[in-house]
Amino acid sequence: MKILVTGGAGFIGSAVIRHVLAATDHTVVNVDKLTYAADLRSLEQADATGRYAFEQADICDAAAMQAILQRHQPDAIMHLAAESHVDRSIDGPGDFIRTNILGTYTLLDAALGYWRGLAGTKAEAFRFHHISTDEVFGALGDTGQFVEDTPYDPSSPYSASKASSDHLVRAWQRTYGLPTVVSNCSNNYGPYQFPEKLIPLTILNCRAEKPLPVYGTGSNVRDWLFVEDHAAALALVLTRGGVGQSYNIGGNSERTNLAVVETICALMDRLRPRAGGASHRDLITFVTDRPGHDFRYAIDAGKIRDALGFTPSVDFEAGLERTVAWYLGNEAWWRPLVDRQYGGERLGLAGARKTAVR
């Protein structure tokens, strides 16, 4: 099988490519625009497999998408290319509308034309897998979980743009017959994540003994999914998921944001102690909450467990320790990002004054 992966130089996309190349004999074509959060260094071993190709292109470029599909003739598309940081969507929603909505439309249109040109078993086996987020469902209270048919209620420009792209994918299946499948995941974490997100930012600020920003009171709850588990689940959805179906993918690991930060601090106290025996917890700083900050996300992953046999293999504590150890041992990967692209400044204040986290 030849799989075209959009956004394959990003955090989740690169994990998907590493998984596919290591666990199968499939060929992968990586299509990525190489925006700020993309990094081909996350795929340094891919070329050596002889089953990997890279195309630098924008999914909003219709001619480029059509040409790439014709040139590579994939058997499936895994669509991960997206702007993904909620805080950035608050400050600059236009990029999210362009990439996540218009880009998905452009890719769907190109995929439909390509699929209509296929014949026989190749046409029957073709799949368009759209990878999305649980944030499209909005916020939960203290109880309950998102299921596949939970009504959409997005809160941020990011989640609204992803909800729009989900609807487009389903419409292309129902209207035009394009064989699509959708998955919605909870918060991912693990190696190679761009340092603007909570877990890598906390690790790197601990290492530098900078303040550890926690929004509001830190009581917001997220379900955490180790990125390598997510990659394995996505491969199952692509190859065994039903056309027109959607699958929620979660890690069964609900934690408050404050608990996540405190767990990282405890790991850092053990793996890289501060001078004088001080705790990294002393660096925790509560900051003004994000506008429209959803209170709680939680995934009911019963469908993917029962239908496809997927359950997460990495529990949160073990996955977080692996992640902390990876960042401590891979400064050569993250240091250029911190020095040149993102130094820890606060984003998502909706036009208010921003201060760097120093």
Active-site residue list: 134-135, 158
Residue type, 123: A
SS (H, E, C) 37-68: CCCHHHHCCCHHHCCEEEEECCCCCHHHHHHH
Residues in CB range of 204: below 8 A, 6 or more apart:
195, 327, 334, 338, 344
Helices 11-23 and 227-240, packing angle to 10 deg: 60
Residue type, 117: G
Burial zone of 143 (CB within 10 Å; 0-12 exposed, 13-18 middle, 19+ buried): exposed
- Tokens 């487009």: give the residue: 168
Longest dimension (CA), the chain: 70
- Provide the residue count of the chain: 358
User: Would you state the structure tokens that stand for residue 37, as one six-digit string?
Assistant: 């959060």
Q: Rounded CA gap, 350 and 39, in Å? A: 28
Nearest residue to 329 (alpha-carbon basis) of 188, 189, 191: 191
